[in-house]
Structure 1
């Protein structure tokens, strides 16, 4: 039983920290990165964001983003099956991360990134795309930020629940 408690604690801790870490990354983009890119000429902003979108595809970011998603999925499934202390916080927190962060990324931010990836930075079409990209991508990024932060809070609360004796 002690081993199960330690594994459960570790998964909850990793999930809460992962959600917080990802919320911080998204928060940075929402509060200053996108604003800085918007101040550049469209061609420069497009080129910079295209570079960011390539650079973000790396093992460290994937571990934080998808590792947290796997842990949240595990917590949600195990919560439904075993009803540990703090089940509601585990379910809602995990769901917020999976839906509000991962699903929103896949459904909204990635398609916007894909469209930007093929844009010619120095073309009028690229400039038009960039204007709408800045608005739409940032709105969805705000959603991801709030969802990941709320998930971190709820998973931290679940982490603080006393273990069943």
Structure 2
């Protein structure tokens, strides 16, 4: 188990980093570009992403990292007095709360509402304005949480390696 823990920590760092890059791209330029499109085009582009992102590669990175975080959180409690345990727990909680919980509670319901609206309708235009105002700040939370998770896992790995 001691030899496996550093490997799992690296994998959690990589998964958090992949998510950080994805969320950073949306926060820094993708959503800005979409907001400059007419509402029906912005809605269509976002709906296309929301459909195509549901694939095995994304699922492995997103949910695989979540499973690793659950495991590492449990291990951090069992090894609480060992070096790096607090960083393992921090990275895990940042990922599970700041990414998984925020996605499920805020981003996915907004995505579902966007998928259900007629893009060319007045309701679609109004929802698009609300969507941008609500979805983007929650994505910023995910960007910060995933970056923090990555840093925490790197610090955990450094402590594990020093032990």
**Is the aligned partner of 1:62 residue 2:72?**
no
Structure 1 residue runs of 4 or more that deviate by more than 6 Å after TM superposition: none
Corresponding residue of 2:110: 112
Which of 69, 72, 77 is 1:75 aligned to? 72
Unaligned runs of 5+ in 2: none
* 1:96-119 CA distance string (max 9 Å, x none): 100001100000000000000111
Deviations 1:65-88 (A, max 9, x none): 010110011000011012332111
Whether 2:129 is the aligned partner of 1:131: answer: yes
Q: 1:15, 1:101 → 2: CA distance?
A: 13
Q: Is the CA contact (8 Å cut-off) linking 1:85 and 1:163 kept in structure 2?
A: no
Paired with 1:128 and 1:102, the residues of 2 have a C-alpha distance of 27
Q: Distance in 2 between matches of 1:25 and 1:105?
A: 13
Alignment of 1:5-154 (within 5 A): 5-83=2-80, 84-154=82-152
Contact 2:35–2:42 (CA<8 Å) still a contact in 1? Answer: yes
- RMSD, aligned CA: 1.2
Please give the per-residue CA displacement for 1:22-70, whole angstroms capped at 9, x wherever unaligned: 0100000000000000000000000111101000100000100010110
Q: Distance in 2 between matches of 1:91 and 1:158?
A: 9
1:160 counterpart (151, 158, 161): 158
For structure 1, the residue ranges without an aligned partner over 5 or more in a row are none
How many residue pairs align between the two structures? 162
Structure 1 stretch displaced more, 74-83 or 141-150: 74-83
What SS does the aligned partner of 1:5 have? coil
Structure 1 residue 164: Cα displacement: 7.8
Q: CA deviation at 1:163?
A: 4.8
